[in-house]
Amino acid sequence: MQPMNPIVPNTDKAEKYKLLLKQAEGLISSESDLIANMANLTALLKDTFNWFWIGFYRVDTESNQLILAPFQGPLACTRINYGKGVCGEVWQSGETQIVDDVNAHPNHIACSSLSQSEIVVPVKNKDDEIIAVLDIDSDKLATFDEVDAEYLEQLVELLK
């Protein structure tokens, strides 16, 4: 008889995230500058997972746009309007979003045609206001799941 739908956690990925979180805690506890910490977080994520594009967009209250911030990967769009693209949607909703196939997501902004799936996580300050988003793109379909969402949310908490 076949076992019934066993849920096997992706422990390998979770283990990588746990190590990464420890490294990030060490780095961020000794530095208060937001940009420097964002820069190192993207480097840590790139080193650990080597995804196609990893970066932050910061909320600019003057222009009411997201503006490109530290990232690792190819050149990207510099400004995103409120509610536009997956990044703009996450800025609006305040909730992490996972997109398995960006080409099937009508509001997606394609900075690169190589991008196939993505996850966007809101970055909040101590007052729970959204100050940025963390956007990660993969050149493969359906790369991200709830494990990524959970650990990436923990990671950006460190920026508070």
Residues at the contact surface with ligand SME, assessed by CB under 6 A: 53, 76-77, 80, 85-87, 108-109, 111, 115, 118, 135, 137
Q: How far is the CB of 55 from ligand SME (least distance, A)?
A: 6
- Residues with Cβ within 8 Å of residue 24, at least 6 apart in sequence: 40, 41, 44, 155, 158
Residue nearest to ligand SME (CB): 85
Neighbours of 106 (CB within 10 A): 5
Neighbours of 15 (CB within 10 A): 10
Task: Report angle CA 46, 128, 154 to the nearest 5 degrees.
Answer: 35
Residue whose CB is less far from ligand SME, 23 or 81: 81
Residue whose CB is less far from ligand SME, 11 or 93: 93
Q: Characterize the bridge pairing of strands 79-81 and 53-60.
A: unpaired
Q: How far is the CB of 12 from ligand SME (least distance, A)?
A: 26
Tell me how far apart the alpha carbons of residues 22 and 19 are, in angstroms, rounded to a whole number.
5
Q: How far is the CB of 144 from ligand SME (least distance, A)?
A: 13
Residue whose CB is less far from ligand SME, 114 or 147: 114
Residue found under tokens 């190590």:
19
Residue whose CB is less far from ligand SME, 37 or 42: 42
Q: How far is the CB of 53 from ligand SME (least distance, A)?
A: 5
